[in-house]
């Protein structure tokens, strides 16, 4: 299985291009903070390169700007190419299948570019550990007699 789920902030404005055949493609980098801090107390982050195609590319380019908080779902892809000097380059990136707002329109710097589509409504922010704890609080173990097999 190859699935990547990221929530972070854009490090720069998304770069939208069009292929010679007319397909939209948008490249961007997401800064994802780590769950822990370093020994000196500073927050660490990973900078993940992403690429989106077609309508997802157009959506990201239209509604997100540098600093916007974004949630993406996609797959990790690796590729190689030879640069202008003939040096082999290796690239690892997330090919984005889905993108969502993680903050409200008022908190999103890209909101001024137009109204967001209804299906991309802001998602409430809640820590995954908190959600898991809430689900476990209602958990009642089954008695062996209740098992259907």
Instruction: Tell me which long-range contacts 31-34 makes (C-beta under 8 A, separation of at least 24).
Output: 32/6, 32/7, 32/8, 33/8
Decide if 85 contacts 54 (C-beta within 8 A): no
**61/70 Cα distance (integer angstroms):** 12
Q: How far is CA 81 from CA 28, 31, 58, 113, 116, in A?
A: 19, 25, 26, 35, 36
Count of CB atoms situated within 10 Å of the CB of 63: 24
Q: Around 5, how many Cα atoms within 13 Å sit in the side-chain half-sphere? A: 3
- Strands 43-53, 88-101: pairing kind: parallel
Cα separation of 130 and 113, whole Å?
A: 33
36-40, 85-89, 101-105: lowest mean pLDDT where? 101-105
User: Could you report the per-residue pLDDT of 72-87, keeping only the tens digit for each?
Assistant: 999 999 999 999 999 9
Beta strand pairing status for 24-37 and 43-53? Answer: antiparallel
Q: How does residue 103 score in pLDDT terms, banded at 50, 70 and 90? A: confident
* Average pLDDT of span 38-56: 94
The DSSP call for residue 62 is: H
């Amino acid at each position: 299985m190859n699935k990547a789920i990221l929530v972070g902030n854009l490090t720069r404005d998304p770069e939208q291009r069009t292929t010679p055949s007319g397909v939209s493609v948008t490249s961007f980098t997401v800064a994802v903070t780590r769950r822990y801090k370093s020994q000196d107390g500073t927050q660490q982050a990973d900078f993940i390169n992403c690429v989106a195609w077609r309508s997802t590319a157009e959506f990201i380019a239209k509604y997100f700007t540098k600093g916007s908080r974004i949630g993406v779902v996609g797959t990790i892809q690796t590729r190689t190419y030879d640069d202008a000097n003939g040096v082999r380059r290796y690239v690892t990136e997330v090919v984005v299948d889905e993108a969502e707002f993680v903050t409200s329109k008022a908190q999103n710097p890209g909101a001024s570019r137009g109204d967001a589509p209804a299906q991309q409504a802001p998602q409430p922010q809640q820590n995954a550990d908190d959600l898991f704890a809430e689900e476990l609080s209602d958990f009642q173990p089954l008695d062996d007699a209740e098992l259907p097999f």
